[in-house]
Structure 1
């Protein structure tokens, strides 16, 4: 990912170069300790006590075991409910992917998503740093790719301060809805984009914070992103865009600290989006 235009000089600790190689991450092995000798001794004492106490203690133990089994059964039902409540990411990916494209210039590539469509064609949102070198060179044309399909696009508007750009294509493409409000902490999200040019890639995580860098607001999330994800949508469990993937913190011991531009900023500064509802 390329650095955020107008702010790239002092974003200490943030790696935003589109064509740079990811830093290799360290691996820390976790070890589960063996059961302590105290626990083993307790098991032996319990066995001896039950053997010596006779039938009365055995009945008491059986009742305790029944209560324990019932408790476990309740926990299983609760866990099943939690599993059933998890987002169906496969279904959401099928819903979102038709609206997400690879944005490519002679200088690099990133991702983009369709925010609006009409009789004159469609508008895609991406990061300015994805197309900034082409724009600075006076080249207004970009390739908008999805699988084997390539559409010729034109850089229509740019907002370097908010690191946003709008790409226009003459084809009518499926749009993504945007979330009506800011996401909440721990909310599940999915990123769709083209890391290293691998279109249609997804990663999932949660909203982990809200940050301000040099006066600009960002949504922090744990879903991993890589060079090429810039400009792609970060969507909620309903497939609504909550942010535009833009950058990440990177360094020794740093993992899953990704940043996105709030979709409200993108829709206000760059394009009229298609708002979703809370229902």
Structure 2
């Protein structure tokens, strides 16, 4: 098949290469020929078509649409009509004349023909960086730069999200954090509320327990006091003796020996007042003497006879030394009460005997009342104190019945206190 084309001087026939076809070159105005004037019958040709390269390819197609040689066929000068030899496979027309080829618009029309596709088997030229020399446009040998196509999108790596999507994600994250914080705050508030309730219950229980404990302690205190009173009421000779003995002394008056005990508060001029029987100091008092001696263990204290009551057999002594005085009972004794008698029978100091009050005898034959008791006494006990269970002096031991057992007599302490006013 013979391809119709336009040579450099006019119409002509292109050689048949046996490939089965060629592409007709587009018409071009005669003025475009370099150095030749335009003829009157020349018609302006349409613009050459432009081939759009595939998207993403960096290889540009030539500007002009021209017949391409078959795949693998070399390009030589004059081999293909209407083409100039260029490096590579691309060739562009340099002259157009004659009538328009089939499929092109008639003279005077401005619309370009439809874009023609390259023949099957055509290999696209290499990118500009790999092709030697610049690309050429039709109509001469002037080099022009080829079209710059957009570079393909980079491959590999993650594409960053658009700003709007990123802001939405941050909003969701902030909302989630706010929800978590609200839940945590609610849980903590609930736990604090529960702990507060438990603490309030514990405080109420503690207050109740403390009030109950206070009531029990008050009851225990009252019971303790009652027990102390009962214990005090109970007779304890050991406790009575321990409290009384430091205030009881042996008296040495001339050739006679007896007992004396400190009583009441200290004397006004200092010293201590004591009670004893008159018959103990009678020998010294009768001779005009006034000095006697108080003995306790290995110590000896001088004392003076201050006053005597012969009718009731009572005498008052005073010493400059200070001793604790015994307390006297204000109530009268009763039969059956337990007593302790402390003295120095036969000179044996710090002797203790116990018994009960047998009776309270009224005065008879000009003498005052006496207390009868059954505690054993002997010579030397005269002037010693008779003590009740409350460690109080109730009488002064005076005598015992002859040829009898368990009959002792004592002057009531009230009689001695009324007569001497030292209790």
TM-score by length of 2: 0.43
Match of 1:238 in 2: 390
Cα distance in 1 for residues equivalent to 2:274 and 2:379? 19
1:262 matched to which residue of 2?
412
**1:110 aligns with one of 249, 255, 258:** 258
Pair 1:176-2:331 in alignment: no
In the TM superposition, what whole-angstrom CA distance separates every residue of 1:174-226 from its partner, at most 9, and x where no partner exists?
A: 10000111111100000001111111001000000122342321000011110
Per-residue Cα deviation, 1:231-273 (whole angstroms, up to 9, x for no partner): 010000111000000011121xx21100000000011112421
Distance in 2 between residues matched to 1:85 and 1:164, nearest whole Å: 29
Query: What's 1:214 paired with?
Result: 365
Contiguous gaps of at least 5 residues in structure 2: 1-229
| Conservation of the 8 A alpha-carbon contact between 2:251 and 2:294 | yes
Q: Does the residue aligned with 2:369 lie in a helix, a strand or coil?
A: strand
Q: Which residue of 1 aligns with 2:238?
A: 90
Q: For 2:372 and 2:396, how far apart are their aligned partners in 1?
A: 11
In structure 1, the partner of 2:348 is: 198
Q: What is the RMSD of the two structures over their aligned residues, measured on CA atoms?
A: 1.8
Instruction: Judge conservation of contact 1:107–1:134 (CA < 8 Å) in 2.
Output: no
Equivalent residue for 2:376, pick from 224, 229, 236: 224
1:147-169, Cα deviation, whole Å (9 max, x unpaired): 11110011111111111101110
Point out the structure with the larger helix share. 1
Alpha carbons of structure 1 residues 143 and 185: separation in structure 2 relative to 1, 3 Å: same
What aligned pairs does 1:115-134 form with structure 2 within 5 A after superposition? 115-116=263-264, 117-118=266-267, 120-134=270-284
List per-residue Cα deviations over 1:86-126 (Å, max 9, x = no partner): 41211110100011111111120110111132451111000
Quick one: distance in 2 between partners of 1:219 and 1:199? 23
Query: 2 CA distance for matches of 1:84 and 1:164?
Result: 30
Residue equivalent to 1:76: none
Counterparts of 2:275 and 2:365, CA distance in 1 = 22
Q: 1:157 aligns with which of 282, 304, 307?
A: 307
The answer as to 2:247 corresponding to 1:99 is yes
Query: How high is the TM-score relative to the length of structure 1?
Result: 0.65
How many equivalent pairs are there? 190
1:167 aligns with 2:317: yes
The answer to which structure has the higher strand fraction is 1
Paired residues of 2:233 and 2:389 also in contact (CA < 8 A):
no
SS at match of 2:249: strand
Q: Which has the higher contact order (CA 8 A, sep 6+)?
A: 1
Structure of greater Rg: 2
The question of 1:146 aligning with 2:293 is answered: no
